[in-house]
Amino acid sequence: MWLSTLLLLVSATLSSGQGCGKFRQIAEGVILNQTFGETAKRIIEKSDNCTAACLAETDFVCTAFLSVQNGECVLLDKIDLNRQVMKDVSYYRLYNEACDGETPSIGYCPFEITRTNVKVSASSVSPGMTSPSGCRDFCVARYHNLNCTAFTVAPVDKVFSTCSLFQSVTSADVSDGSMDLWTTVCETTPVNCAYGSWNDWSSTCSTSCGGGTQTRSRSIASESSNGGTACDTSLLNETQTCSTNDCPTDCMYGKWEQWGTCSATCGGGIKMRGRAITSLPANGGTACSTSLLSETQVCSTNDCSKDWTYAIWGCLGACIVIAAVALWCAVDRSCRKHKTAVWPATVTCFIEDNRAPPEYPGPTKTISIASGRI
């Protein structure tokens, strides 16, 4: 029925002061024009995040709020959950601070028509002529500070009638009349899942620096009953950040350059290459070392005694050995003695202009080799 307003009979009083920043929804469809036991309230007409707005409140400690899909927030310093919090088909959701992750137990007490065609002689207050829904709203709003649990009004098909509000009604107060009697019919209070105490945080962090995590856990103390909130295994473990100190950063080096020229052409020389520092150490990291900026390598290890150069006229290209002593060569380039020749020896060079022997040997010149150098 469209007039089936619900009362929420709750089991405990929560007041401000925790400040943990964690909220859980405890009811939805809450009627706005009622008091929740608050001593301070702020209405924010437009907000994308009521939780953030509650935490940002500076005039009072916000521990509860109502939110609606259009972005309106009603911030409260506290709510008294021993009160009868009424709800219907409205869009407001009620959130309360829940630092231990548990939801308060809530019993539903709907307004129902319990008698028809009656009049009630009990003490009452009246806001005057109203519709049935208007009479309900006055009851919900505790008109004249009355803790209203019942009201009489004409049947729904009558547009307006006298609205009478009652704190309590007994059977002796009821007699024949023309009004409908609406009263709250409370159901068995649901019992939510109960959780045990948290164990200690794990002794070690997942990392020693740069931000890691550590965990703690708890167990289920008792299961829910009477339609209460079921146990949520995601609430059995939680994590927190640890080791947020910056990690050490070691000295960083760039890529090696190309090897330099060898210090000798034979007999074993040295060549060198270097690199630069690209990043200095930080937070106690390994320092830079100048000894790691360069390195050397042995080069030109060939035997100098077997490489005899004839520099008198020079040859083009490689020399050609005949009987281990005779060389053919072209003019204008260096000529080397064949390594199998035994010195001292006499070597004949055939000088030829831009042609390769042996097709056209040309003039000859005999050189007497007495040592490894000419």
| pLDDT at position 365 | 45
For residue 292, pLDDT over 80 is answered with yes
User: pLDDT tens-digit profile of 179-188?
Assistant: 999 988 776 6
Average pLDDT over residues 113-128: 93
Residues 6+ apart with CB under 8 A from 153: 130, 131, 132, 135, 161, 162, 163, 164, 179, 180, 182
User: pLDDT tens-digit profile of 193-237?
Assistant: 888 889 999 989 999 999 999 999 999 998 888 767 778 888 899
More confident residue, 96 or 158: 96
For residue 337, pLDDT over 50 is answered with no
pTM over 0.75: no
Task: Sort strands 309-310 and 277-279 into parallel, antiparallel or unpaired.
Answer: unpaired
Token pair listed for 148? 């209203």
Domain limits, the chain: 6-104, 113-184, 252-302, 307-369
| pLDDT at position 14 | 39
Confidence of residue 61 (pLDDT cuts 50, 70, 90): very high
Q: Rounded distance, CA 322 to CA 315, Å?
A: 16
User: pLDDT tens-digit profile of 148-170?
Assistant: 889 999 987 777 889 999 999 99
Q: What is the CATH number of domain 113-184?
A: 3.50.4
More confident residue, 243 or 306: 243
List 194's β-bridge partners, or say none.
222
List 274's β-bridge partners, or say none.
294
For residue 18, pLDDT over 50 is answered with no
Residue 96 burial (C-beta neighbours within 10 Å; 0-12, 13-18, 19+): buried
Average pLDDT over residues 49-71: 89
| pLDDT at position 304 | 75
Q: Rounded distance, CA 187 to CA 356, Å?
A: 118
| pLDDT at position 217 | 94
Q: What is the CATH number of domain 252-302?
A: 2.20.100.10
Q: What is the CATH number of domain 6-104?
A: 3.50.4.10
Q: Do domains 113-184 and 252-302 have the same CATH topology?
A: no
Residue 85 burial (C-beta neighbours within 10 Å; 0-12, 13-18, 19+): buried
